[in-house]
Amino acid sequence: MRARAFALVLLAAATIAHADSKPAAPVLSPPPKADDSLAPARVDAALLDRSYKRARNTRNLGIGLAAPGVALSILGGVLIGFGSTSPNLFDQVDKIIAGVITCGAGLVIGIPGVYFWSTGQDDMDSVVWRRRQLVTSSPLTSSPP
């Protein structure tokens, strides 16, 4: 009886509706100055070197994943091909299942590898371009008029 009464009290307390207090107005930051918002991004050689190393590591990771992924996908296709031409039914099933699993594992490894390879190479190209822009626009390298 006490358990029922306690459950009823808990249920009644949980279902009582109350109004939420009004949230405080958000604090907005001041708008940027016109000269700050139009200024180019500030980059230095150390920042570019770190970005280049990170991009190179991403590309190398992608190459390391893409190569075995493609190899496993090709091996899976070969197993499926051999399994489909085998005269023994059980041998066909074994080879085809093994080929599908191998091909699937190759795709699971290869697709992220290709993504990392392409994004890492793109980031490397971007850093090289920024480095060239930094060298050509540097006031130290320009000749006096």
Interval 25-61: pLDDT, tens: 777 777 666 665 555 666 778 888 999 999 999 999 9
Radius of gyration of the chain (CA): 31
**What is the predicted pLDDT for the residue at 90?**
83
What distance in Å separates the CA atoms of residue 34 and residue 66, rounded to the nearest whole number?
46
Q: Where are the domains of the chain?
A: 53-134
* C-alpha dihedral (33, 36, 39, 41), degrees to nearest 10: -140
pTM metric for this prediction: 0.61
Cα 51 to Cα 10, 115, 143, 144, distances in angstroms: 58, 18, 29, 32
Between the two ends of the chain, the Cα-to-Cα distance in Å is 98
Q: Which regions in the chain score pLDDT beneath 70?
A: 8-20, 31-42, 137-145
